[in-house]
Structure 1
Amino acid sequence: MSDVARRAGVSTMTVSRALRDGASIASDTRERIMKAVNDLGYVLDQSAGSLSSKRTGFVAALVPSLNNSNFADTARGLTDVLQGAGLQLLLGYTDYSIEKEEELIESMLRRRPEAIVVTGGKHTVRGRKLLENAGIPVIETWDLPPKPVRHVVGFSNAEAAEALVKYLYQRGYRKIGFIGGTSNRDTRGADRRLGYERAMAALGLKDTRIISFGTPPISMRQGGEALARLVEQWPDVEAAICVSDLSAFGALSECQRRKWPVPKRIAIAGFGDFEISSCSHPTITTVGVNCYEIGKRSGELLLRAIEGERASKPIGAETIITPYAVIPRDSA
């Protein structure tokens, strides 16, 4: 700021006033200052002001994957709402690890975000305590945790998977398998497996066929290898539910390599309604969850919560349940 002041021939206090919205200052003086700012590439350091005003201008969001289009759509929904209120989104990448999530929560909170959004409702003990004591609005997304930290925007992954099993049952399939990861790092994937098991039991289908293969997130290649193992272990399997559309596409590709007609030899179903599921041949039956809407509704809730905090009138805890639906396509 001193460099700008010297270049513009004014005091640092005048520069400070010129860079504040609504400050009264002569137009020619402002023009000189802004020219100096542009010439020098100066960016106002707002950290000191944010300490007193508690307005840092950004919201933190933690997502498990950066190359997953579903989480990218959720981040886009958040951004579209927040940018209209002058807030920016700072993303953190957890790689499906609640331990890494804990580290990121602490790191983000040191930067004083005005709110924080996390993916899922399962955290380490310390991670949850950090969220509970953050003193800012917290939203858990993509899940319906039984004991929310504060606000929730999401759906039951288990119930969505149950709906998919029941759809396949109505289509006449009885020997239904499930393909998921080898660990519970993907807690939403674990919930989908739970939903599969619950639905099978409720329908009187006692013979579950579960293949755990690959570390979440399961890739297309791993989905293909898992499908081959499923058929090898249970040759009578009629349908395979995959934990995501990516693994479902891999399973479909494996069927095509082995010349197994889909769905005549085996039906394939995915989860998430990725673009690839509607472009493949055959197209893939899946569960649509409206990822963008999760982000949009989270952003709208955050704005209400942030305004409540600023006015010393915090809003009560809210749970917004977002819709999901089985999307019938050619693969099942």
Structure 2
Amino acid sequence: MMQRSARMKDVAMAAGVSVMTVSRAFKKDASVKQATRAAIMKAADELGYVYDSTAANLRSQKTDFVAVLIPSLNNANFADTVGGLAPILSDQGLQVLLGYTNYDIEEEERLVEQLLRRRPEAIVLTGGRHTARTRRLLQAAAIPVIETWDLPEDPVDRVVGFSNAAAMGMMVDHLVGQGHGRIAFIGGDTDGDTRGADRRRGFLSAMAAHGLDASRLIGAGRPPISMREGADAMVRLLDGYPGTEAVICISDLSAFGALTECARRGLSVPGDIVIAGFGAYEIADICVPRLTTIDPHPARIGQATAQMIIDVLTGRPAPPRIDVTPTLIVTESTAIGQG
């Protein structure tokens, strides 16, 4: 016969308190003394009791979760953003519910609709480009909406991010300042990765501003771009555009792939060709030579987003937009006289 699960009144009896005190303890009510809360939690643990917040949430119209949509589960940058966001929200009793879009704005629309049915306290999106229906759903939701990793011209609500185009322009300016003119760009073949598309646009704009030829564009496949795809793209670049002096890759992973192809061919980096990436991944700092890259500060984006959500939900003043400025990190892969 199945054993009856422990109930809140069982915990109350074991701890010698009222049912209401148990309820307040699980809600982290400040009126419950620390010693009392400890006794309640000990009793609950011994009884195997799990607090069911469903009924309380129905009464209060609160769900205590924040929906966060990211394009990739294995991208260290997005993991760092969630890692910066989740602990701050958790301290306020809010939990993160992740959705995975796989760089597909149609999938983002489906997930947004599903998540809004569960009444999140707020929703966080990666990027500022969405379907028209997604925008309508978000605007009608009457909850804080934060777009991250971008600075959209027409935000849905609030924004924490940076201009991917400007960040790529910063890298072009660095390479041109090093004396390079024949610069190539390795990136995705589609606009599925809207931030990657903005980086390509930033490359084209910066090259034009310097009066340089920007035709060395090598597609590396659908996002996310892997090390293998970066290596394959480098094969096509070296074979199709001899004399290329510098290569900017859409990410550090693709840049590492490009670096390994140069090693296979006996090309010196940066002696024969220079390579730069994006993202400040761990691999950029440990490969040989270390990769010049751009640090978009993903954890800082997450932290600022979490604080913005808390401020809005608690009625404190919160700016509609927070710019998190990327940092150019120059190392051996573009350093003149090394390699």
TM-score by length of 2: 0.88
Pick one of 18, 22, 27 that aligns with 1:18: 22
Write the distance in 2 (CA, Å) between the matches of 1:326 and 1:5: 55
Q: Retained in 1: the 8 A contact 2:6–2:48? A: no
**Deviations, residues 50-71 of structure 1 (Å, cap 9, x unaligned):** 2332322221111111111111
Structure 1 window deviating more from structure 2 (31-40 vs 208-217): it is 31-40
Paired residue for 1:220? 227
Percentage of matched positions with identical amino acids: 51
Paired residue for 1:62? 69
CA shift in 2, pair 1:168/1:80, >3 Å: same
Q: Retained in 2: the 8 A contact 1:54–1:114? A: no
> Please, which runs of 5 or more residues in structure 2 have no aligned partner?
335-339
Quote the offset at 1:201 in angstroms.
0.5
Map 1:72-151; keep pairs closer than 5 Å: 72-151=79-158
Paired residue for 2:337? none
Write the distance in 2 (CA, Å) between the matches of 1:205 and 1:272: 25
Pick one of 7, 11, 14 that aligns with 1:4: 7
Pick one of 276, 296, 304 that aligns with 1:297: 304
CA shift in 2, pair 1:102/1:317, >3 Å: farther
Write the distance in 1 (CA, Å) between the matches of 2:41 and 2:149: 44
Structure 1 window deviating more from structure 2 (142-151 vs 80-89): it is 80-89
Partner SS state of residue 7, structure 2: helix
Is 1:273 matched with 2:275? no
Quote the offset at 1:38 in angstroms.
3.2
Q: Retained in 1: the 8 A contact 2:295–2:328? A: yes
Q: Retained in 1: the 8 A contact 2:184–2:214? A: no
Paired residue for 1:201? 208
Write the distance in 1 (CA, Å) between the matches of 2:43 and 2:31: 19
Partner SS state of residue 19, structure 1: helix
Is 1:187 matched with 2:194? yes
Write the distance in 2 (CA, Å) between the matches of 1:214 and 1:107: 30
Quote the offset at 1:207 in angstroms.
4.2
How many correspondences in the alignment? 326
Q: Retained in 1: the 8 A contact 2:11–2:22? A: no
Write the distance in 1 (CA, Å) between the matches of 2:223 and 2:211: 30
CA shift in 2, pair 1:316/1:207, >3 Å: closer
Paired residue for 1:51? 58
CA shift in 2, pair 1:8/1:119, >3 Å: closer
Pick one of 159, 164, 168 that aligns with 2:171: 164
CA shift in 2, pair 1:209/1:42, >3 Å: same
Q: Retained in 2: the 8 A contact 1:178–1:243? A: yes
Amino acid in structure 1 at the alignment position of 2:24: R
Q: Retained in 2: the 8 A contact 1:237–1:266? A: yes
Partner SS state of residue 261, structure 1: coil
Quote the offset at 1:237 in angstroms.
0.9
Write the distance in 1 (CA, Å) between the matches of 2:287 and 2:55: 53
> Please, which runs of 5 or more residues in structure 1 have no aligned partner?
none
CA shift in 2, pair 1:234/1:77, >3 Å: same
CA RMSD in angstroms, aligned pairs only: 2.7
CA shift in 2, pair 1:35/1:301, >3 Å: closer
Write the distance in 1 (CA, Å) between the matches of 2:139 and 2:332: 45
Write the distance in 1 (CA, Å) between the matches of 2:240 and 2:48: 64
Write the distance in 1 (CA, Å) between the matches of 2:226 and 2:307: 33
Write the distance in 1 (CA, Å) between the matches of 2:8 and 2:261: 66
Write the distance in 2 (CA, Å) between the matches of 1:294 and 1:192: 18
Write the distance in 1 (CA, Å) between the matches of 2:144 and 2:117: 15
Amino acid in structure 2 at the alignment position of 1:102: E
TM-score by length of 1: 0.90
CA shift in 2, pair 1:175/1:297, >3 Å: same
Structure 1 window deviating more from structure 2 (125-134 vs 189-198): it is 125-134
Q: Retained in 1: the 8 A contact 2:301–2:324? A: yes
Partner SS state of residue 325, structure 2: coil
Write the distance in 1 (CA, Å) between the matches of 2:290 and 2:37: 59
Structure 1 window deviating more from structure 2 (85-94 vs 41-50): it is 41-50
